[in-house]
Amino acid sequence: MSNPPHPLVIAIANQKGGVGKTTTAINLAAALAARGLATLLIDLDPQGNASTGLGFDRSQSFVGTYELLLGDRAPHEAIHLTAIENLSLIPADTDLVGAEIELVEAEDRAHRLAKSLAELPADRFRIVVIDCPPSLGLLNLNGLSAADAVLIPLQCEFFALEGISQLMRTIDRVKGGLNPRLKLAGIVLTMYDRRNNLTDLVADDARSFFGDKVYATPIPRNIRISEAPSHGKPVTTYDPRSAGALAYNQLAEELIRRENLK
């Protein structure tokens, strides 16, 4: 009898804010779960938007990513069910904002998350999605050190590619010293507007530089994507027929094909 496959761990990362990172983490995770894949979303961003975007009440007392990184809590204690079938969440504690400072003195400070995930049964989840913070600090390093691959949202706006170069250097350093298995899963074009010539220029530049690492599915500018978090839902359930929901469903299908998840 063969051993169950270990989950694919994907970090959604970009040190620049406002690029659709958390939006992609929420909606990609929800779309993967809707396809029958047991999915865990880890909110590693102190802002906690991935948690509230799934309707999680952060005002209550709970075990989350802070306790996972700095406490003695087992990972199963931090996992919370969501309203979406097959989708679980490790939410961001309000104390996570101070974790960067506290981790400086911690033993094996960059591998805390990886060690916690290693304690989970191999067959508990098929895929783990980590929403990394918009920075290049220790929280981000924990996300990249725990991941098999990193998916980078790239907004179709001026200067977008400039920020990617610094992140790519960080990924290379993590691969060289902390996590040799880390690979670039790909680039996802976000805030895509076909009416804007700049969109095509950024997309062309990205494809000329990264080749087929740029996903074929772009994420459009869509009002439903913006509205969904205020209702505590991913756009895939808030308005399943919207352009944003259709795009994230297509993105999930493309990820499944690329990573051979089925």
The pLDDT of residue 106 is 81
CA proximity to 207, closest of 189, 184, 182: 189
Asked if residue 65 lies in contact with residue 90, where contact means CB atoms within 8 angstroms, the answer is: yes
Query: pLDDT tens digit string along 91-105?
Result: 998 889 888 888 888
Looking at domain 8-259, its CATH class is alpha beta
Neighbour tally for 140: CB within 10 Å: 25
What's this model's pTM, rounded to 2 decimal places?
0.95
CA proximity to 90, closest of 125, 115, 67, 65: 65
Asked if residue 145 lies in contact with residue 114, where contact means CB atoms within 8 angstroms, the answer is: yes
The pLDDT of residue 2 is 47
Query: pLDDT tens digit string along 60-73?
Result: 889 999 999 987 78
Q: CA-to-CA distance for 183 and 144, rounded, in angstroms? A: 10
Q: How many CA atoms, within 13 angstroms, populate the side-chain half-sphere of residue 254?
A: 20
DSSP for residue 212: G
The pLDDT of residue 1 is 40
- Residue bearing the bigger pLDDT, 207 or 3: 207
Q: pLDDT > 90: what percent of the chain?
A: 69
Mean pLDDT of the region 107-135: 92
The pLDDT of residue 3 is 53
